[in-house]
């Protein structure tokens, strides 16, 4: 059995009426680790475990780290997660709750990642947060599930950070013969994908700002950029305020708490930033958010 679950595919009446089309929610916030990350991370961990890995090492204080910790607990493999100093106490608590050995290093993910790589020994497996074909293969399964339920969308809306979800959704669409556009949404302070498109190649942003910290990759993976030459990918950005308000609206509408990184994609529909009224079915990936709380959302809003 895979480590992820088949998540609900729900019709959103509020978003459907607002955007004058049928909006489908792929509820990845319902995954046992709290986000879509367990699809790819779980697949990668299972593959490494089958090859003899005795320990998993990760460099993420957010959804990816929690997915690695969950996978390690389920497979009986010890896990080290290196997090930057900016990682919240709630995230550290959740990682320890899953049984991970949490180590703190550096002011940002890049510095934490360097330490994580330095810890690798012969029988260890390093689980990257977003830049690994094993991850993309795992993430693609969410599109398989959508199609298996009889929905063939005319477009997909998702949040983009490092580009792992984008690459995985693209793969899932390809193998289900869906040549449709993907709308890739970022917050204005985390727009590394938009910067890559503007520069003609992935580039590192000088700094990352804002509340959608799970989108905080200074540079998107090469695959995320390359696939823009192979299918229609539309880059859009929203403000922090719009992302947070979308989370609060979604909580009211669908009784599910998600983080601002997920709210970025939701804001594209709550703010009617995409003209989808000519389409019949629109799929949005409700990617999740393990560390978000209602108090933190209201704090951001304030």
Q: At what angle do helices 37-50 and 141-148 cross, to 10 degrees?
A: 120
Gap between the Cα atoms of 285 and 204, Å rounded: 26
Structure tokens at 222: 């090469």
95 by DSSP, 3-state: which? helix
Structure tokens at 59: 């460099």
Structure tokens at 112: 């934490």
Tell me phi and psi for residue 235, to 5 degrees: -95, 130
Beta strands (DSSP E) in the chain are 9-11, 22-27, 55-58, 79-83, 101-104, 124-127, 155-159, 182-187, 233-238, 281-286
Quickly list DSSP for 249-297: HHHHHHS----HHHHHHHHHHHTT-S--TT-SEEEEEE-B-SS--HHHH
Domains of the chain (ranges; CATH) run 9-36+134-301 (3.40.50.1100), 37-130 (3.40.50.1100)
Q: Which residue has the tokens 């690695």?
A: 68
The tens-digit pLDDT sequence of the chain (302 residues) is 899 999 999 999 999 999 999 999 999 999 999 999 999 999 999 999 999 999 999 998 789 999 999 999 999 999 999 998 888 899 999 999 999 999 999 988 888 999 999 999 999 999 999 999 999 999 999 999 999 999 999 999 999 999 999 999 999 999 999 999 999 999 999 999 999 999 999 999 998 899 988 887 889 999 999 999 999 999 999 999 999 999 999 999 999 999 999 999 999 999 999 999 999 999 999 999 888 888 888 888 65
The pTM (predicted TM-score) of the whole model is 0.96
Handedness of CA 149, 152, 157, 161 (dihedral sign): positive
108 by DSSP, 3-state: which? coil
């Amino acid at each position: 059995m895979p480590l992820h679950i088949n998540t609900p595919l729900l019709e959103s009446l509020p978003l459907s009426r607002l955007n004058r089309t049928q909006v489908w929610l792929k509820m990845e916030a319902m995954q046992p680790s709290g986000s879509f990350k367990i699809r790819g991370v779980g697949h990668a961990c299972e593959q490494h475990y089958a090859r003899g890995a005795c320990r998993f090492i990760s460099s993420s204080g957010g959804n990816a780290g929690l997915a690695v910790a969950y996978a390690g607990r389920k497979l009986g493999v010890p896990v080290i997660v290196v997090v930057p100093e900016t990682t919240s106490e709630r995230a550290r608590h959740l990682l320890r709750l899953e049984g991970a050995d949490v180590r703190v290093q550096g002011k940002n993910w890049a510095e934490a990642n360097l330490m994580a790589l330095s810890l690798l020994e012969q029988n260890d497996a390093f689980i990257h947060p977003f830049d690994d074909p094993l991850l993309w293969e795992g993430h693609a399964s969410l599109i398989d599930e959508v199609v298996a339920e009889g929905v063939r969308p005319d477009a997909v809306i998702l949040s983009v950070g490092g580009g792992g979800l984008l690459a995985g959704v693209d793969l899932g669409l390809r193998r289900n013969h869906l040549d449709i556009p993907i709308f890739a949404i970022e917050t204005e302070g985390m727009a590394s994908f938009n910067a890559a498109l503007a520069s003609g190649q992935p580039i590192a942003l000088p700094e990352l700002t804002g509340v959608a910290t799970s989108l905080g990759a200074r540079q998107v993976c090469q695959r995320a950029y390359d696939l823009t030459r192979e299918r229609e990918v539309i880059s859009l950005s929203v403000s922090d305020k719009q992302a947070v308000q979308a989370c609060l609206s979604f909580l009211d509408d669908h009784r599910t708490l998600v983080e601002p990184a997920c709210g970025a994609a939701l804001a594209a529909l709550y703010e009617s930033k995409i003209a989808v009224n000519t389409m019949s079915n629109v799929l949005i990936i409700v990617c999740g958010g393990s560390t978000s709380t209602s108090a933190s959302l209201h704090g951001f809003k304030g």
